């Protein structure tokens, strides 16, 4: 067995991804998760609301509208939350100059406070 790294890194580079690099994965993943969850929820709501209708084009269109509306709503909501969380995390990390769990806790707390402040 060789005891060398698998990748060649520039001198002084980290072997782990920084918070800014992970932000893109986090935001994209949340958007996709929200879209999938919203589509399933829209399908459930569409079938429930149209249960008294016969299978026809109007029923299919109504179900499809509900799927796309709910999918977009959930993708937008979770994507926005992920964007706020990632932005707060990057700002806090750059401000403190440290990369630890306190940044994650602070970013989550600030995101929750800002999200619920509208209510």
Give pLDDT tens digits for 80-116: 999 999 999 999 998 988 888 898 899 999 999 998 8
- Give the residue numbers spanning the domain of 24: 20-118
Does residue 11 register a pLDDT over 60?
A: yes
CB 31 within 8 A of CB 75: yes
Helix pair angle (57-96, 19-49), 10° resolution: 160
CB 42 within 8 A of CB 72: no
Does 62 map to a domain? yes
Does 8 map to a domain? no
CA angle 87, 92, 89 (to 5 degrees): 35
Does residue 2 register a pLDDT over 60?
A: no
Does 5 map to a domain? no
Cα distance between residue 59 and residue 57, in whole Å: 5
Confidence at residue 65, expressed as pLDDT on a 0 to 100 scale = 95
Confidence at residue 17, expressed as pLDDT on a 0 to 100 scale = 66
Does 45 map to a domain? yes
Residue with tokens 């986090």: 26
**Mean pLDDT over the full length of the chain:** 87
- The number of domains in the chain is 1
Does 15 map to a domain? no
Q: In this prediction, what percent of the chain has a pLDDT beyond 90?
A: 56
Confidence at residue 35, expressed as pLDDT on a 0 to 100 scale = 96
CB 74 within 8 A of CB 108: no
Does 1 map to a domain? no
Does 11 map to a domain? no
CB 90 within 8 A of CB 110: no
Does 85 map to a domain? yes
CB 71 within 8 A of CB 39: yes
């Amino acid at each position: 067995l060789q005891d060398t790294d698998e990748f060649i890194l520039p001198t002084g580079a980290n072997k782990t991804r920084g918070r800014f690099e992970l932000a893109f994965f986090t935001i994209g993943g949340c958007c996709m998760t929200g879209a999938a969850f919203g589509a399933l929820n829209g399908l459930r709501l569409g079938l429930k609301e149209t249960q008294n209708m016969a299978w026809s084009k109007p029923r299919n269109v109504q179900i499809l509208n509900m799927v796309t509306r709910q999918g977009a709503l959930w993708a937008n909501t979770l994507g926005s939350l992920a964007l706020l969380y990632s932005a707060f995390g990057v700002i806090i990390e750059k401000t403190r100059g440290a990369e630890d769990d306190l940044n994650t806790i602070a970013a989550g707390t600030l995101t929750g406070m800002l999200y619920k402040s509208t209510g």
